[in-house]
Structure 1
């Protein structure tokens, strides 16, 4: 760790870590009867190990434990994961705000610095920008969250990785019809059809489609969303397995934008009156398909292949006055782009080729072709919110070809060494087709590459307690969106990739007292990509000299009695600028990151009958800009839910009701980092409710 003294929260974390270890060892030696513990298999780290023996901070979340929700946002499922900061902006035009150990906190929309996957298919674009809007909660089975050094195995922009998996069809054919409603005229209708394969070589299937509509919590925040997801699975006679996934999402969302502190305190539901004339909104359409194939050649060798392709179209109307667009270099107030993207990942795994070893070698290829246009957001009559004259026209291409290796060696009965190596390279090119007097040719290209080594040493202290220490080099390139604007309104090819050194020490325990995890980490980053300000709806970015992130995480979960379970977690992170960056004082806190987070829940969750749960979430204050001039205050919110599940023969009925922000806390859900107009604050909803009913019939 750094020589700087860690403050009281870190000391308390280490005290808790010591207590957890002692309690775990006591539970093992003090028990008079053996306890049969479930094996939690983890896929994210590609080590083919159980959770207890995976040398990384990784967590598995079962969707079946989070069904008393309306089923629209990932915030409903990903609760209490240490190190994960997931905020609902109450703005469907800008997606959720997601960061892991501080990586990705700069994003004013979408997801940066974290790799997202759905059934092994990337939900992160090849340039590193991701979105959660195509993740279907109706057919979701589980999620794995991987943080820390081991996430560098996924290459560029992998400050963490979130892998979601759709259920596989099984048993009788069935159809489920559901309806949920809630505050602000929220309404969601969904249908899920599924069935297992009767014989080998026939596919099982899971097909889901939903429609969501809301007036929104704030003025001008209405949204409509159609989401469909299909998965076919073949388990073939030769032992191979094939998954075919098709996904489509269509979103129309109004954008209420941020508020100043005074405006938030006056009326958190408002949209700034001046902005109403612009009718700020976004339309998103995305269709994606992918195929995964795995085949064991024999007891020692296995092959895996994945291929995917998709198209994403976005039209966004911004709040930029016509006077600002009078600048001949300005790209206009309407963003309109279409992206075609595709890729593949080929992998071989060899087991026991040498005693107690496992080897993996692979090659990942991704490519993206983007047609980006900009238009004035006004017409000849001076009316805003319409598509006017063309102001930008360019074609952007990107590709990467990443070879990677991974090895695991159990060199002593209780000791294992894991190592990885990936060569990450990204190639950008932009061809400018809008060349006018006063607006020259902004074409250009650039290449980024980095060798990313990783290593972890793990020790099985006992059968139920393990510890590990790990290191990895991280790498993050700017996305096309982050390069889209610069000081002179052209492509910002001066942005450099960020490079980081990541360290972690952790301990895990699984015994009669529950599942414990504790980790202490540090990340030192050079050329970190940070916000350079958001002015008139347009985000710009720059490189920071050095940044530092260090902290600790604790988590615990346990089945207390029968179907009564509890979960608790705590995260501490000190994230600050650690060098001489223009306009930023060394030691200033990185905006968008909460120093402390805590979560606790208690739930009664039988398979049938009455169920209920309650959870409490605490979030520390969050600075809004590099100068730390203001901060969204800390808050604590409580949620409660109850439901009933009835089963009879081939019928199943599920009902639920829930209340969020039970005590009507007035708080800021997320911040727009470095907003140039001082409208940093995105207010969260007050006391709100939802209720739902679903009926399933098997045939």
Structure 2
């Protein structure tokens, strides 16, 4: 991937100039309403990096299993399908979140305005419904701090409103590795009531041994027009992962010898995970006049997780061991109240927001030995039993002012109070009472200035400060090996700056470019990882800086293009000790899991009826796999192609599709497990795979 950042930028500029040459014959695209900054600002006028990807499930040949399918062409974002449904997708934005070994950390997630990230900063996307989706918004850079704790970036999925006439879709996809997905969705409108309902079933034998998984999910979005009394939106969703096998990572030698294998411990302990989650939320909006709006959001959910790990039996002899089976019962909920007012200041338009957010998470955590006698992979003796609670209270304010004909200002501030409490119910010889708590607080200001030299061109500069607390997973063990939670950990604090340009080169061409830098202090890193215990420490300063480019437009004759390219340098700026025995990591070392260059490109032609064809390329540079930088996962470029045909069957439409991923059957590492204690860092991606689909719309 050497030189790939420069080549991607050059290609994008050439394509932009080519598109501008024929743009006189095109029509203006309709405006897209976005919610990224809680203000009614068109994406072009936002002094921040924001990508909005509209989705059309009926026209796509993709099965809609993973969020990464929808994010081709989005710069700054790296979404890795781990081919391991026991660990969820790996999502990072400008290097934030890349070091997460499971789930999503450092990036805030929302579905229909309802948090999919818990107050401690841990999130997951397994319940995101692409069948019901209308669009995905990806906010990067300083203004992400407006969302509070762990906001290295923000990813939001929005379901479509129901319309008239009603539309029902039934889709069946099947292909390599005994993969199958069945989806059913319907959306419509009846007077002041609209609905969007979606159900899906997914199953796969997995590319690797011991990676079978099954998932059922449902999503409902109900809208109620209450006339002068406002509008009510109700969102309900559920996801069940009855059993997802975990093949665990491989060493480099194992991955090269046989990328489809699972290590012996995966079979011995039958490593696996089961998840059941149900949640509901409601958003009430009231506009007493044309310039004022009140909005109240409330949500509640429950999530149960049981995971069997491969912690060796010998390691559990330590009286402080929590065992090898994790059993979590979590309830969570919250409120967000917001007031918006449009007015004038000095004769120029102004919009202001005042809000208050509260989120609460209560978790009953139990740990069991992963053996009973000579039987491995079962829940044995209780080794951990505690009540964990975290809550946050965040007032925030934002203001957008077009203080001159060509100038605008967007400012905001958020104050976060995050409190962790743990009550220990497991007290035994050598394992004392570990109850305790810690509180974190931070005020995060943001500011953006934009200049408009013309109707289609914008320049902007923005600055913001953010913070990220440890999650309960990182607080779980002390770095000194003692009893109790690591309440001595500090939150990491960041300062981000960005310079950007947005150009609507023609009615159907969009070019955006940004330079960014984020400096973080008190970065969290692994202190030690052995015997099933991962502990963390604050290590000092780090820096993530680079450039990104986004290009979307019409190439002519029905062809469309979407390109996203990122150059990123992520480095530790202070030396620190790592591992046991400790090895000193020098300043300037690369942050593991973060490539220097990555990007994606899609070119497609066609629509709902007739032939449709698409081609995709996704490139990722090499990444180091641990703090020491001793090993690297090599970079790669993968090619995918898809073809489809849509035909009318009376009032119905049938969409047939075929897709091939990794067309040239490259052997690649799809994702890495950063700082894995046994050197099993590597998670191989599948070779060439084929997916066939049929969707009936009526």
Structure 1 length as normaliser, TM-score?
A: 0.94
Secondary structure of 1:525's counterpart equals strand
Q: How does 1:162-561 map to 2 (within 5 A)?
A: 162-197=155-190, 199-200=191-192, 203-238=193-228, 240-251=230-241, 252-354=243-345, 355-380=348-373, 382-486=374-478, 487-488=481-482, 490-512=484-506, 514-561=509-556
Residue-by-residue CA offset, 1:558-601 (whole Å, 9 max, x unaligned): 11225320122210000000013223210000000010012222
Residue-by-residue CA offset, 1:393-423 (whole Å, 9 max, x unaligned): 0001111110000001111100001100100
Give 1:67's match in structure 2, choosing from 56, 60, 70: 60
The aligned counterpart of 1:682 is 683
Contact 1:108 1:539 in 2 (8 A): no
Secondary structure of 2:576's counterpart equals coil
Residue-by-residue CA offset, 1:322-367 (whole Å, 9 max, x unaligned): 1110111111000001111000100001101533111000000000
Secondary structure of 2:47's counterpart equals coil
Residue-by-residue CA offset, 1:518-574 (whole Å, 9 max, x unaligned): 000000000112233543555432222000000000111111225320122210000
Q: How does 1:532-681 map to 2 (within 5 A)?
A: 532-582=527-577, 583-681=584-682
Deviation of the 1:476 alpha carbon: 0.5
State how far apart, in whole Å, the 1-side matches of 2:338 and 2:11 are. Answer: 40
State how far apart, in whole Å, the 1-side matches of 2:226 and 2:554 are. Answer: 37
Give 1:134's match in structure 2, choosing from 114, 122, 127: 127
State how far apart, in whole Å, the 2-side matches of 1:456 and 1:46 are. Answer: 15
Residue-by-residue CA offset, 1:450-472 (whole Å, 9 max, x unaligned): 01000000011210000100000
Deviation of the 1:321 alpha carbon: 1.5
The aligned counterpart of 1:118 is 111
- Cα–Cα, structure 1 residues 536 and 172, in superposed 2: closer, same or farther, change >3 Å? farther
Secondary structure of 2:228's counterpart equals coil
State how far apart, in whole Å, the 1-side matches of 2:26 and 2:205 are. Answer: 55
- Cα–Cα, structure 1 residues 119 and 249, in superposed 2: closer, same or farther, change >3 Å? same
Residue-by-residue CA offset, 1:94-146 (whole Å, 9 max, x unaligned): 00111000001110000001111111111111211110100011111110000
The aligned counterpart of 2:581 is none
Residue-by-residue CA offset, 1:587-641 (whole Å, 9 max, x unaligned): 0000000100122221013231111100111110011001110110010100000
- Cα–Cα, structure 1 residues 34 and 317, in superposed 2: closer, same or farther, change >3 Å? closer
Moved runs in structure 1, 4+ residues, more than 4 A?
A: 7-17, 19-24, 30-35
Contact 1:533 1:673 in 2 (8 A): no
State how far apart, in whole Å, the 2-side matches of 1:212 and 1:286 are. Answer: 16
Secondary structure of 1:238's counterpart equals helix
State how far apart, in whole Å, the 2-side matches of 1:193 and 1:33 are. Answer: 36
Contact 2:200 2:216 in 1 (8 A): yes
State how far apart, in whole Å, the 2-side matches of 1:657 and 1:8 are. Answer: 33
State how far apart, in whole Å, the 2-side matches of 1:636 and 1:32 are. Answer: 35
State how far apart, in whole Å, the 2-side matches of 1:83 and 1:443 are. Answer: 40
State how far apart, in whole Å, the 2-side matches of 1:22 and 1:206 are. Answer: 37
Deviation of the 1:489 alpha carbon: 5.7
Q: Structure 2, unaligned stretches of length 5 or more?
A: 578-583
State how far apart, in whole Å, the 2-side matches of 1:13 and 1:607 are. Answer: 30
Deviation of the 1:42 alpha carbon: 2.6
State how far apart, in whole Å, the 1-side matches of 2:526 and 2:498 are. Answer: 27
- Cα–Cα, structure 1 residues 313 and 689, in superposed 2: closer, same or farther, change >3 Å? same
Secondary structure of 2:474's counterpart equals helix
- Cα–Cα, structure 1 residues 408 and 108, in superposed 2: closer, same or farther, change >3 Å? same
State how far apart, in whole Å, the 1-side matches of 2:23 and 2:307 are. Answer: 61
Secondary structure of 1:92's counterpart equals coil
Residue-by-residue CA offset, 1:36-82 (whole Å, 9 max, x unaligned): 35434332122312121111100011111772112111111111211
- Cα–Cα, structure 1 residues 539 and 640, in superposed 2: closer, same or farther, change >3 Å? farther
State how far apart, in whole Å, the 1-side matches of 2:484 and 2:496 are. Answer: 34
Contact 1:318 1:536 in 2 (8 A): no
State how far apart, in whole Å, the 1-side matches of 2:40 and 2:622 are. Answer: 39
Q: How does 1:4-19 map to 2 (within 5 A)?
A: none
Range that drifts further, 480-489 or 408-417: 480-489
State how far apart, in whole Å, the 2-side matches of 1:484 and 1:287 are. Answer: 26
The aligned counterpart of 1:88 is 81
State how far apart, in whole Å, the 2-side matches of 1:584 and 1:515 are. Answer: 42
Structure 2 length as normaliser, TM-score?
A: 0.94
Query: Aligned residues, how many?
Result: 684
Report the aligned-residue RMSD: 2.2
Contact 2:16 2:551 in 1 (8 A): no
Range that drifts further, 48-57 or 65-74: 65-74
Contact 2:300 2:334 in 1 (8 A): yes
Deviation of the 1:160 alpha carbon: 0.4
